[in-house]
Structure 1
């Protein structure tokens, strides 16, 4: 596996490239142009700027997360074709700097939802928390006030241009069903995958977070059967999935390791993190260690190893520990610990395999 680390850019991240360089085994950064409004074509000069910054520290920039999908595409509006053309042009530009994977999602309005960005865990650290009952009773605008108005960092997935028109977006989705969303995703993929293949960039959809309908909005990338359907919409190796153990793992019915074993050849990019699920449906993000949460991280890594996985992996959300002030979920310390836990599992599996061969 190829270890990478998400980085939000100079001036927009509490973690520096110099600090990331100290983490063993990290080869590249996972990046995006967060200041470009969704739907616009990415400027080549800004892409080159990120490459130059990464080159200085010996990092590749082969994974982009995310080139976001404009809501008009998800809604299937006539204006979608222009936004799809912009997406194609961005793919062409990203190929020029060696990008190999584009992570994206097809979640209406909100990319991810939590009710508390700094919920305290038993050990005194804090983490992202989802309170089911609160979401069910909450007005979406309350959530916007809680999450989007972070004084220090932008919050990808909660871009101002979307949130300014929140009421209009909810109105637009009022009669959009899951089948409508599937149809609009199919339309997008039919146009994008040939371009992605031509430029040798794999498209990797991120599961919905959490993997169920929220605020009455349709969500479709939620379980094994739906991932299978997604991959069959355009049955092509360049149509893949960013398998996120944390997003899918929030539903205890999802066996993420089983998904790895079934879809391994269509997973160019993996997010690995743990969550602890409570009986009432709440969940909180924990350390990556298997015993700290409800997701079997060991079996997930073992599944990747068994299938000879050579794709990209990043530690996903971490706790906030040791007094670190950072973007919620994206500090340095706990994600670095997560990487070492993942490497520990991987290295032990490699050693065990070597011992079996030598016997």
Structure 2
């Protein structure tokens, strides 16, 4: 029994030390991103404002969706832009909201595209493939229906295309919690875990080589080089996969400092678990080698395990204090400093609980390949969705 306790103590201490090292890397990654963002802002791209088609696949209505629509209509953009909304059926409740938008902004080119075909398991990408032929412009911006953006969004997202071989531009995002504990935990995870991981990957890999669904800005030419949206209709992590394929095709992928917001639903515990597992299994399937190491990033549970295994020894409390310091530093630097997410300050006390859930879902993600998406069950196999 003593041998087992000592083994647990040593393993927990080593994993805690690894988690602290990861936290320091995340801080360096955040610093590098801020430095590069300031340098890019100074360079700018004066006079570059190509026409752009914004594609928004929609399904149903949520409480903040219309505000997101409006934020796209009040863009301070020097070039032309159009908004295309894609629905699988004209009976979708979102159709009425789009009609309302067209009435309130008659000066804008706002169009509704019916996408009746189901080209693959990923309904969103299936809609995008049917919307693309209706887009007037070479430059394309794709984001989800509830994304809320700033008035300078299009200007900042399109600027990198002034440079040759830019194939994809993506942006960081925050989650706007809908009030329940589970919603708040997911929003906290986005700002303090997920985005910290993105910035760390950017630092370690010498740039970003994947996309984030918050924004996928590209061109028709670049899309054609990877087979168009049709090549992604069976992919769960279509945003990630688009960036990977464009990077492999020789295009540059850029992460610009333009933070957008998405809605985090008022999850029940079951809904929270289903979404977190889908997210975890998608990441596991997309980045298999990197995902193995993700477990050490949840430093607070490991440091608590070291305290318990050592019987509350002085060194374990010192290690826990250091782990907590680094974890809070990452949360504040990324969540507040870069993302400007005030929810992080409000929910900072939930960090230990968030880390415990994160570690649990990381471990549970290896138990099965089944994910639940919009009430349907799929089996995930090498990024592809197969109906169960």
Q: Which structure's residues are more often helix, by fraction?
A: 2
User: TM-score scaled by structure 1?
Assistant: 0.28
Q: Which has the higher contact order (CA 8 A, sep 6+)?
A: 2
